[in-house]
Amino acid sequence: MKNLFALALLAGASALSSQAFAGGDINAGRAAAEKYNCASCHGKDYNTPIDPSYPKLAGQHSDYLEHALRAYQRGGAVANGRSNAIMAAQAKPLSQQDIANISAYLGSLKGGLVLKR
């Protein structure tokens, strides 16, 4: 009985930990980025935005992108929110899975972001 309980406990912990670290689906993220027309502002390669003040998204850390999109959904009137009329409108209809998928896709792209030492 102890072995069965331990096995069940281990299986449950494994399931929870895999969900906690589960990333988005890159292919679904590509489709979502196209659906929501992210390239119209951030450039067709997500590395050449139409305005220099817009961020380059290709190669950005996916966890950062997830945080930023959720912050735009919260809006600037709350703690840890971001205010930008365009991005707030773009982020509002995204599901949490859309955000994970788009972030995984953009993070998988080769970008011009570099770290100099």
d(CA 63, CA 22): 11
User: Which tens digits make up the pLDDT trace of 65-96?
Assistant: 999 999 999 998 888 889 999 999 999 999 99
Domain spans in the chain, listed from the N-terminal domain onward: 24-108
Amino acid identity, residue 65? L
Of the options 2.30.30.90, 1.10.1740.10, 1.10.760.10, 1.10.3210.10, the CATH number for the domain spanning 24-108: 1.10.760.10
Residues 6+ apart with CB under 8 A from 110: 58, 59
d(CA 44, CA 50): 9
User: Which tens digits make up the pLDDT trace of 28-75?
Assistant: 999 999 999 999 999 999 999 999 999 999 999 999 999 999 999 999
Both tokens of 64, joined, read: 């950062």
Alpha helices for 21-75 (secondary structure H): 26-35, 39-42, 62-74
Q: Where is pLDDT greater, at 13 or 106?
A: 106
Q: Where is pLDDT greater, at 18 or 97?
A: 97
Q: What pTM did the predictor assign?
A: 0.76
